[in-house]
Amino acid sequence: MTALADSPAAQTAPHTFREHRCPGSGPAAISDAVLAADRSAAVRDHAKTIRSWPLLVLAVPAAAEVWSGWVGIAQKTGFGMVPLLPGIWSSLHLDTAVTLPVGVECYAAYALRAWLATGHAVSDRTRRFAQRSAICSFALGMAGQVAFHLMDQDRITRAPWVITTLVSCLPVLVLGMGTALAHMLREDAAAAGHQSGDQQDHNPPDRTTGEPRPPGRTQGTAPASRPCRG
């Protein structure tokens, strides 16, 4: 028995049955994965708790005030009932005073969304244009509200020619800015689509799995694996 215990085979036997473990496969790696999953679940739960319904409560009184102000200043600057189809449908009329609140405030919200958008491909040039035009739209909206309330307080029924000139240019200005911003957003989306298409062309999907292959991997080759060390 002592001879067998002292033999080289018996001395090396414990080493032959030693378990080889790869880095990152122990209990510590499993606990890290569990903690990461718990953190992601907590973030999703926190995101679900954020509600946007208070924005509706804030928007209803603000929209009513903004609407009344723009309609009031439009009536003092010559906006009113106009026939849409004279000679064809003479009874069809439209009050053009509604064009100011709809145009100016809707464009301000549109530019603000493009400025703060994070999930879409928006270039720096488009974001700067949206930022500046949104700030200008909100500034024009505040100036229009102030002008209307000052004229209404002084019982002025006809606005001065300077205010009439500025208000008359607002629909054309809003149309131009909205068209430019929409064109720039479409260019950014097209550029992002071409870029993703070029990446797919340089990295075609694997025929066996249908999934995109990693860069530097050719068809039919398996990814290189790192050897495990004991």
Q: Tell me: the pLDDT tens digits for 134-165?
A: 999 999 999 999 999 999 999 999 999 999 99
The residue among 212 and 1 whose pLDDT is bigger is 212
Say if 161 falls within a structural domain.
Answer: yes
pLDDT one-digit tens code per residue, 13-50: 444 444 444 444 555 545 555 555 556 555 555 545 67
Say if 216 falls within a structural domain.
Answer: no
Say if 162 falls within a structural domain.
Answer: yes
**Structural domain of residue 141, as residue ranges?**
98-194
Say if 112 falls within a structural domain.
Answer: yes
Say if 147 falls within a structural domain.
Answer: yes
Number of compact structural domains in the chain: 1
Say if 89 falls within a structural domain.
Answer: no
Say if 176 falls within a structural domain.
Answer: yes
Structure tokens at 120: 């879409």
Say if 160 falls within a structural domain.
Answer: yes
Instruction: State the average pLDDT for the chain.
Output: 76
pTM across the whole model? 0.62
